[in-house]
Amino acid sequence: MQSPNNNSTGSRKWSDLTPQMVLAPTVIAALIWVIGFSLWTLWISVSNSTLLPDMTYHGFEHYAKLWGSKRWTVAYQNLFIFGSLYVIGTLVVGTVLAVLIDQRVRFEGIWRTIYLYPLAISFIVTGTVWRWIFHPNTGVELALHDMGWLAAKFDWITDRDLALYVVVITGIWHASGFAMALILAGLRSVDGDLVKAAQIDGASMPRIYRKVVLPTIWPIFVAVTVVLLQFAIKTYDLVVALTQGGPGVATTVPAIVVYDLMFQRGQIAQGAAAAVMILVALALVLIPYAVWTGWQKRKEGARHG
Amino acid sequence: MAEAATHQEFDPLATGGTRRRITSKGIVYGALGLFALIYLAPLMIILLNTLRPLDDIVRTGFIALPEAETMSLKYWAEAWGTFCIGGTCEGVSRFYKNSLMMTIPATVLSTMFGLLNGYILSKWRFRYDGVIFGLITLGVFMPQQMTLLPWAFVLGKLGLSNSIAGLVFVHTIQGISFTTLFCRNYFVSIPDDLIKAARIDGAGFWRIFRRIILPLSPPIVIVTVIWQFTGIWNEFLFGTVFTSGANQPITSAIVAFSGSGTGERHYNVEAAAVIMAAIPPLIIYVLGGKYFVRGLTQGAVK
């Protein structure tokens, strides 16, 4: 605990630099892994690498090949379908839960704890559990057969056209408590007088929420959407545990293609190109959001003088 | 205070007549209960299946109640100690230990760095401090895929390939981005005058840290520890790429036994292993309570 350069006694000059020196390892590490690693992967994506890194320049052919492969275009398409349904579904369920809890219910803490716990457990556990439930050999379908309904069919997870919706449902189950927590915090910040005024005007509760309360907390919805889009773009473990990208390529997402190209097929340049595309997708979500929040803050600052 | 007062006065369900009030209460609690069932059911179903014999599960699937006379805890013991995963028959205990050996040091180290960095970036002014904070924060958003190949190379050079130490290293460095962001945003609210007064009294960098910052830190330390512990314990991609065989963390082990479509399935034992993997973050979650939510809001919105 004793510091080597206690600045009340030590030389003035060195003690002045203590903060910088303590911060230096982090700065160096961040420079290497944030900037350096990004450039590194970027370079690999335009290099000659196949099974092993080969740093000679090759050009953008790997990107062209990537976008020419059906696997990748399907993965990107899946990301759009999964991403939009997942975000919308999570927001809707999260809002419903938040509004329900906002009705001055008893045992609020218990309800919240129940809805939020999926977020604490891993995507691997979540995916494994739901795979057992959705799979016709172990889950709902078998249970229905066992109960005597022999014609019952529930095999979305093995159906090429429907498997992606299984991922969506599981994703919503995992994240809606998170949306609930943030939206509820927003609801609690709404001015009570606003609601009372609407009540005096004779508006019903659902109408008040729709027309008055929820519109006032729209920045929270934007923030939650941005975070969920980030989750969606990075989705990997959940799909691995749930469907492994299948059946066929039905639930393949970009992150799975990256892993496959890099570590299963020995195409690390093309894998790096796919990783760069994930970074681009994230940037397309995050940069506008950062600009927008910066602009909002400046506006706030101007208003407060 | 004022907010709480308005909330007290305003009871949304107290509008309208008595009958309407009772119906709307009924709808609200009914809906809450239904959702609670949906959220709890999957884990409960899996938990019950850790007690059922295998032929029972194979016959009726996971969604069935255990029969009292065949219920047994031996599948838990098997999952922990003798279950075969990827060639070794030592159960999940080994991978569990790996996960703990990875998660605890990485959580402690990244939290310590985060406290120091957060303190420096919020209370000391120097050139480019804003840029540096931006750079560190950028790490929060980096997709793991961009760092896979470079990390593999660096770990190889450091002789940390296929080791828990390598995972601790990666998780510590990447985790510092989160912990620095959390701590910096928390310490910003400590009045600068407090620091100034201490400096006038002759306190230096470390003294201010020990005497002023650390005593005010417990809430943010709890948030950070919860966040890092759950995040690192639950992580899968790095564990799978940078380690193999007996050195993998629990998440990779689960995928290794349950993902392989071949061979005989041991659903009851696998269910027990899955529940075991969920227990540490769940304990942290239940104990952490409001701090968990606070971490979420901080991590998400700021």
Check A101 against B32: CB less than 8 A apart: yes
Using the structure block, give the residue that is written with the tokens 């890194």.
A53
- Which residue on chain B is closest to A243 by alpha carbon? B259
CATH topology of domain B93-301: MetI-like fold (1.10.3720)
Average pLDDT over residues A177-197: 88
* pLDDT(A239) > 80: yes
Check A241 against B141: CB less than 8 A apart: no
Beta bridge partners of A57: A47
pLDDT band at A304, cuts 50/70/90?
A: low
Check A22 against B116: CB less than 8 A apart: yes
Domain residue ranges of chain B, discontinuous segments joined by +: 14-81, 93-301
Beta bridge partners of A70: none
Which A-chain residues 224-283 have CB contacts (< 8 A) with chain B?
A: 224, 227, 230, 233-234, 236-237, 240-241, 244, 255, 258-259, 262-263, 268, 271-272, 274-276, 278-279, 282
Residues in chain B with pLDDT < 70?
Answer: 1-17, 259-263, 297-302
Residue to test with chain A: of B47, B119, B145, most A Cβ within 10 A? B145
Check B146 against A278: CB less than 8 A apart: yes
pLDDT, tens digit, 9 for 90 and up, residues A132-167:
999 988 888 888 888 888 888 888 888 889 999 999
Tell me the three state secondary structure of residue B205. helix
Which two tokens mark A278? 């994930």
Check B61 against A18: CB less than 8 A apart: no
Which two tokens mark A77? 């398409």
Residues of B whose CB is below 8 A from A137: 61
Q: Is the CB of A14 inside 8 Å of chain B's CB atoms?
A: no
Beta bridge partners of B88: B85
Average pLDDT over residues A187-215: 84
Check A120 against B292: CB less than 8 A apart: yes
Q: How far is B52 from chain A (nearest CA, A)?
A: 14
Percent of chain A with pLDDT over 90: 58
Q: How far is A83 from chain B (nearest CA, A)?
A: 16
User: Which is higher by pLDDT, B67 or A68?
Assistant: A68
Which two tokens mark B62? 């996971």
Q: Is there a contact between B263 and B218 (Cβ–Cβ < 8 Å)?
A: no
Q: What is the pLDDT of residue A301?
A: 78
Q: Is the CB of A99 inside 8 Å of chain B's CB atoms?
A: no
Q: What is the pLDDT of residue B66?
A: 84
Residues of A whose CB is below 8 A from B158: none
pLDDT band at A95, cuts 50/70/90?
A: very high
DSSP-assigned states of every residue in B99-168: HHHHHHHHHHHHHHHHHHHHHHHHH---TTHHHHHHHHHHHHH--HHHHHHHHHHHHHHTT-TTSHHHHH
| Those residues with Cβ within 8 angstroms of residue B20's Cβ, 6 or more apart along the chain or in another chain | none
Q: What CA–CA distance (Å, rounded) separates A51 from A72?
A: 19
Residues of B whose CB is below 8 A from A227: 300
- Which residue on chain B is closest to A258 by alpha carbon? B145
Q: How far is A55 from chain B (nearest CA, A)?
A: 13
Check B148 against A240: CB less than 8 A apart: no
Q: What is the pLDDT of residue B300?
A: 54
Which A-chain residues 196-225 have CB contacts (< 8 A) with chain B?
A: 196, 199, 205, 208, 220, 223-224
Check B10 against A195: CB less than 8 A apart: yes
Which A-chain residues 18-37 have CB contacts (< 8 A) with chain B?
A: 18-20, 22-23, 25-27, 29-31, 33-37
pLDDT, tens digit, 9 for 90 and up, residues A70-80:
999 999 999 99
What are the contacts of B36-40 at 24+ separation with CB within 8 A? B36/A111, B36/A114, B36/A115, B38/A173, B39/A114, B39/A115, B39/A117, B39/A118, B39/A173, B39/A177, B40/A114
Q: Is the CB of A84 inside 8 Å of chain B's CB atoms?
A: no
pLDDT, tens digit, 9 for 90 and up, residues B87-127:
778 889 999 999 999 999 999 999 999 999 999 999 988 88
DSSP-assigned states of every residue in B5-51: HHHHH--GGG-S-HHHHHHHHHHHHHHHHHHHHHHHHHHHHHHHHTT
Q: Is there a contact between B293 and A116 (Cβ–Cβ < 8 Å)?
A: yes
Task: Kindly report the average pLDDT of chain A as a whole number.
Answer: 88
Q: State phi, psi for B196 to the nearest 5 degrees.
A: -60, -45
Candidate from B210, B282, B296 with C-beta closest to A121: B282
- Which residue on chain B is closest to A45 by alpha carbon? B146
pLDDT, tens digit, 9 for 90 and up, residues A29-41:
999 999 999 999 9
Q: What is the pLDDT of residue A211?
A: 85
ipTM for the complex shown: 0.88
Residues of A whose CB is below 8 A from B258: 128, 131, 241
Candidate from A173, A189, A192 with C-beta closest to B10: A192
Q: What CA–CA distance (Å, rounded) separates A302 from A79?
A: 39
Residues of B whose CB is below 8 A from A205: 12-13, 15, 24
User: CA-CA distances (angstroms) from residue B36 to A82, A231, A233, B43, B185?
Assistant: 24, 24, 28, 12, 34
Q: What is the pLDDT of residue B9?
A: 46
Running DSSP on this structure, what letter comes out for residue B66?
Answer: P
Q: What is the pLDDT of residue A246?
A: 80
Check A275 against B42: CB less than 8 A apart: no
Q: What is the pLDDT of residue A2?
A: 40
Which two tokens mark A93? 């369920």
Which A-chain residues 118-177 have CB contacts (< 8 A) with chain B?
A: 118-125, 128-133, 137-143, 146, 173, 177
Residues of B whose CB is below 8 A from A38: 142, 146
pLDDT band at A5, cuts 50/70/90?
A: very low
Percent of chain A with pLDDT over 70: 94
Candidate from A34, A129, A230 with C-beta closest to B43: A129
